[in-house]
Amino acid sequence: MSIPTPDRTASDRATPDRRTLIADAAIATVAAAGLRGLTHRAIDTAAGLPAGSTSYYFRTRTALIGACYARIEELDLDDVADLAGLDGVDDPATTHGAERPRPLSRDEAAASLGALLHHWLTAGRERQLARYELSLEAVRTPELAVALHRAGLAARARAAAVARALGAARPEEAGELLVAWTDGVLFDRLAGAPARTRPAPDPAELTSLARRMLDGVLAPGR
């Protein structure tokens, strides 16, 4: 089975270091072949590295999967910044409670979220498929759950920041719901029953869907 070219974003056009190269190759391999294809030897081949390179940097399969989680988290958050233009929107990691949220309209947020969904259903498709596969592995392997939990918290913190900038009364709750709905849309479009017959992702339709999701999470009483 051929392995697709590892997913790249604008943030890593420069030659990646070996750990990053290995993680990217592992993500692409999981997307193409599932976890059964995730072996140290297979990743050496996919990454174009000498035999034994993957095991040198990641001694165990668990360590290799953990690297995949960390890399997916990094790339997904980069996408939020680069494609959705929402980087720094009341980000707790940068504001330290001292700065006011950047003003954000609901239409702007819907367009940004629609663009993000479109990217993850097209150019970022393999990465999202790998994320679902790897998430199920964490359910069965407790030592992997910590890395998955950390990645999930980062996504929810960003979603809560957006909800706060949009005036949500309970932004953490709204962020949780927004992440859940977004994840549901992605899974349905990528692996759900109609995935094979559904038309190609349409940016306008996804923006409209994103607006309905935002209207839902920002409804009075939430």
CATH code of 132's domain: 1.10.357.10
Residue 50 lies in a domain: no
pLDDT of residue 2: 43
If one counts every other C-beta atom within 10 angstroms of the C-beta of residue 171, the result is 23
Distance CA 175, CA 154 (A): 11
Mean pLDDT of the chain: 85
Distance CA 148, CA 151 (A): 5
This prediction's pTM: 0.82
pLDDT of residue 153: 87
Domain range enclosing 123: 67-217
Residue 4 lies in a domain: no
Residues of the chain with pLDDT under 70: 1-16, 83-103, 221-222
Q: What is the DSSP string of the chain?
A: -PPPPPP--GGG-SPPPHHHHHHHHHHHHHHHH-GGG--HHHHHHHHT--TTHHHHH--SHHHHHHHHHHHHHHHHHHHHHHTS--TTSS-HHHHTT-SPPPP--HHHHHHHHHHHHHHHHTTTHHHHHHHHHHHHHHHH-HHHHHHHHHHHHHHHHHHHHHHHHTT-SSHHHHHHHHHHHHHHHHHHHHHSTTTTTSPPP-HHHHHHHHHHHHHHHTSTT-
Residue 171 lies in a domain: yes
pLDDT of residue 90: 54
Residue 94 lies in a domain: yes
Task: Encode pLDDT of 157-214 as tens digits.
Answer: 989 988 998 999 999 999 999 999 999 999 999 999 989 898 899 999 999 999 999 9
Residue 28 lies in a domain: no
69: closest CA among 5, 153, 2, 11? 153
pLDDT of residue 144: 86
Total structural domains within the chain: 1
Residue 41 lies in a domain: no
Residue 172 lies in a domain: yes
Q: Which tokens go with 37?
A: 């294809």
pLDDT of residue 187: 95
